[in-house]
Amino acid sequence: MPDTHRILQSEDTEVDARFGNRFVDVLKNPENDIKKANDYQEIAIASVDVGRARGEVDRSFPTNAAENLTPKESMRQRIVHFGRMIFEARRYKLDSEFSVSVVTDKPQEELSRDSFDLAA
Amino acid sequence: MKDIFAKAFKLLISNGEPLPVIKLSKKRPFKELTERELIQLESQIGAKLFGPVAAGNRREFFNENPSNWIWYEEWTGKDRKKHSTTTRYEVHAEGILKVSEGEPYYFIDGKELENLSMAVQMYHERVMRDIYKRDPSTGKLIN
């Protein structure tokens, strides 16, 4: 899964999610989750599913992906740039609702008890 | 060669028949669109970048992924048979490789590269505005 990024890492749980090229740190404390998430102005996700937990996260498009191209830049670079922009916009649209997988050594029941609601 | 274009055909054609034109619901635009449907919407714009398509003919132009652009053209020949050609432009470190069925691969340059570059830029501007409702320059939502 080359375009999957780890967004949560705590002592016993790792969560991977795919949303373009952005990283979001999501901690276990719900208040910190929101605060941390809001620190990122370029979050490209709408929600996060972690086990049974679900969090709504303010989203915006990764605007820094728009580079300023000059006429001198090669046409190849231009094609690469615009292709990436389109692909990212498409992925963003598709990923606005997505699930993340949980990788942990904990039993599923214990994980569920640890689940949290980011929107709380 | 067939494998190279398999995904493109899958995106464009189902059971050998062209897919109907996708129309967005005003109430729930994009709500349930798949990647394939989004690409088809993009291609509807891409096909119009190069002028009108003759009646009975078909054209597709779309971004498959960050590294590949697909051109598809379908027409009726003088023999009254359907003909089609698919060209795939692949981004490589050395340049843009043109891969066409039954033709030798080569890196495009000169006017051909310039034309593709312009087409890609036009595609980007139209698709970002018309489909994703984003400012092409900043990526920000258009109100």
Q: Is the pLDDT of residue A89 over 70?
A: yes
Nearest by CB to residue B67, choosing from A61, A82, A83, is A83
Cα dihedral value A65, A71, A73, A75, nearest 10: 90
Q: Is the pLDDT of residue B38 over 70?
A: yes
Q: For residue B124, what pLDDT is reported?
A: 92
Section B97-111 average pLDDT: 89
**Best of B128, B129, B135, B142 to disrupt the A interface by mutation (most A CBs within 10 Å)?**
B128
CB A50 within 8 A of CB A24: no
Residues in B touching A75 (Cβ below 8 Å): 113-114, 116-117
ipTM at complex level: 0.79
**Residue spans of beta strands (DSSP E) within B10-77:** 13-14, 17-18, 58-65, 68-76
Nearest by CB to residue B35, choosing from A63, A86, A94, is A94
Model confidence over A15-28: pLDDT tens digits?
A: 333 333 333 333 33
Confidence grade of residue B127 (pLDDT, cut at 50, 70, 90): very high
Nearest by CB to residue A80, choosing from B91, B136, B137, is B91
Is A86 close to B38, i.e. CB distance below 8 A? no
| Closest chain A CA to residue B126 | A86
